[in-house]
């Protein structure tokens, strides 16, 4: 296990973003189109965090034009340039998969004070 930790240590980001399930975040992702590279923002609610170490991921959900869109982002990926917390959420679950079945105001998460 120590060999695996030593091997992956240089791939970890120094400043890991501090996000929690229920937070509304804006994730800036580097998109490569041919020779050009641009940054695309994806804003939504964090509904899950999984794994740990190099494999750590978080799932962000938003509703775009009436269709639910979920993206899974690796925390330590070089393609994730920034994660900004817009709003802190107050939840009592570690996974918010129940939001998939909710529409409108019922799909909102309370803001923590």
pLDDT value for 13: 86
DSSP letters along 25-74, please?
EEEEEEEEETTEEEEEEEEEEEEEEE--GGG-EEEEEEEETTEEEEEEEE
pTM of the model: 0.91
pLDDT value for 3: 87
Find the mean pLDDT for residues 51-74: 95
pLDDT value for 91: 97
pLDDT value for 113: 81
Q: How confident is the model at residue 56 (pLDDT cuts 50, 70, 90)?
A: very high
pLDDT value for 7: 83
Find the mean pLDDT for residues 44-59: 95
More confident residue, 6 or 105: 105
Find the mean pLDDT for residues 64-78: 95
Instruction: List the domains of the chain with CATH numbers.
Output: 23-93 (2.30.30.790)
């Amino acid at each position: 296990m120590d060999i695996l930790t030593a091997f992956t240590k240089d791939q970890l980001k120094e400043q890991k973003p501090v996000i929690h399930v229920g937070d509304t975040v804006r994730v800036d992702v580097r998109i490569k189109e041919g020779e050009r590279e641009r940054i695309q923002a994806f804003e939504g609610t964090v509904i899950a965090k999984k794994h740990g170490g190099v494999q750590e991921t978080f799932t962000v959900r938003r509703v775009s034009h009436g269709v639910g869109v979920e993206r899974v982002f690796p925390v330590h990926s070089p393609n994730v340039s920034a994660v900004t917390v817009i709003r802190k959420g107050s939840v009592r679950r570690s996974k918010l998969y129940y939001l998939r079945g909710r529409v409108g105001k019922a799909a909102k998460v309370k803001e923590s004070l």
